[in-house]
């Protein structure tokens, strides 16, 4: 089987580097183009010494050059900028898999309230939300795949099942998530310095976090509602990578049992290669999922408060971004979904 030529547009950030790592060893992908405005002209070995044998050189992003070298382009650019390359590449017949936020939302008005004016609103209805476990069939034929954000992935996988199965009420959902420092991206910022993050745990953006728009959009769909407001409180913790989310839901019945929760999760994910439903009494732990494309899900029912508590862990750079993008690539190209991933 011939390999598919792929490009990583914005390959020098944490997410881009993770894509490079996965694609260089992918059995069905040939990495033919890596772009970076900062490192244009430098070899991959100069920027990422561990990959010096790949023999690639960073170039400044150019639509025509990318289209001439790649059949599939992975976008790893900031919101707003990704659309500038994603749209013209898609128009030239290059399949685009975007790990930015540019095409995750259905509404340009919602996008505007969180990110600013959308650069290509006419493409929003054309994009497929790339949460493979929920949208696998749509991904197969999509020209533009919008991969979910890292926090939303950890939240949506367990919570949508509870809402769809009617085991939890949509009102009063509270989500507390913790992320490693790489989730903020590779940038020079005082609050992300080692001396500021080490031995420190702190919440941030406790109202209006950008991922809230995506979380609420997809939870509302699962609940069959037009809108579903939730509380989402992210925290920065002193680890390099990994996300843990604890989701508090009001049980739909006072007598909801853990067995019902377990059955719903196993019915939904029992055959999924990258979702592991934990045994009763076990809760998710990031050390079990880092550097993998897996999501762990645990659960508990508090009979005293009548709350259903979900516990979810992923690697923010892999299942929360680049690994999920490769999973979508496998589906879209007809490969085994697990190819190049663990």
Active site residues: 150
Task: Give the Cα-Cα-Cα angle 35, 72, 77 (nearest 5 degrees).
Answer: 40
Cα 47 to Cα 175: distance, rounded to the nearest angstrom? 37
Cα 32 to Cα 5: distance, rounded to the nearest angstrom? 6
Burial class of residue 30 in the structure, from the number of CB atoms within 10 Å of its CB (0-12 exposed, 13-18 middle, 19+ buried): middle
The per-residue b/e assignment along 269-306, b for 16 or more CB within 10 angstroms, e otherwise, is beebbbbbbbeeeebbebeebbebbbbbbbbbbeeeee
User: Taking the alpha carbons of 207, 155, 104, 48 in that order, is the dihedral positive or negative?
Assistant: positive
Which tokens go with 29? 């992908």
Cα 197 to Cα 26: distance, rounded to the nearest angstrom? 34
Which of 321, 328, 296, 334 shows the shortest CA–CA distance to 21? 321
Which tokens go with 272? 């999924």
In sequence order, which ranges of the chain are alpha helices (DSSP H)? 14-24, 44-47, 63-69, 81-91, 108-115, 132-140, 150-164, 194-197, 211-223, 258-269, 323-333
CB 342 within 8 A of CB 326: no
CB 280 within 8 A of CB 265: no
Which of 183, 36, 126, 97 shows the shortest CA–CA distance to 118? 126
């Amino acid at each position: 089987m011939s390999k598919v030529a792929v490009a990583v547009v914005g390959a020098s950030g944490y997410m881009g580097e993770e894509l490079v790592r996965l694609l260089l060893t992918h059995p069905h992908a040939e990495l033919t183009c890596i772009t970076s405005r900062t490192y244009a002209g430098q070899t991959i070995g100069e920027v990422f010494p561990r990959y010096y044998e790949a023999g690639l050189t960073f170039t400044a992003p150019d639509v025509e050059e990318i289209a001439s070298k790649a059949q599939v382009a992975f976008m790893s650019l900031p919101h707003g900028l990704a659309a500038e390359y994603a749209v013209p590449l898609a128009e030239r017949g290059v399949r685009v898999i975007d790990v930015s936020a540019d095409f995750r939302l259905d509404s340009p008005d919602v996008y505007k309230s969180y990110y600013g004016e959308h650069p290509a609103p006419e493409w929003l209805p054309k994009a497929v939300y790339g949460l493979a476990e929920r949208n696998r069939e749509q991904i197969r034929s999509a020209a533009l795949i919008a991969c979910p954000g890292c926090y939303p992935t950890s939240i949506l996988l367990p919570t949508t099942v509870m809402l769809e199965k009617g085991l939890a009420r949509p009102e009063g959902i509270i989500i507390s998530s913790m992320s490693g420092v790489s989730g903020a991206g590779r940038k020079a910022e005082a609050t992300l310095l080692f001396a500021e993050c080490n031995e420190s745990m702190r919440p941030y953006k406790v109202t209006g976090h950008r991922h809230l728009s995506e979380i609420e959009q997809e939870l509302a769909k699962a609940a069959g509602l037009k809108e579903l407001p939730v509380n989402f409180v992210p925290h920065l913790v002193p680890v390099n990578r990994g996300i843990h989310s604890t989701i508090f839901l009001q049980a739909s019945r006072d007598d909801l049992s853990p067995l019902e929760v377990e059955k719903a999760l196993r019915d939904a994910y029992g055959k999924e290669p990258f979702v592991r439903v934990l045994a009763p009494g076990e809760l998710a732990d990031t050390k079990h999922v880092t550097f993998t494309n897996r999501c762990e899900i645990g659960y508990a029912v508090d009979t005293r408060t009548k709350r259903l508590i979900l516990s979810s862990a992923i690697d923010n750079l892999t299942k929360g971004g680049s690994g999920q993008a490769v999973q979508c690539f496998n589906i879209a190209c007809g490969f085994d979904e697990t190819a190049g991933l663990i």
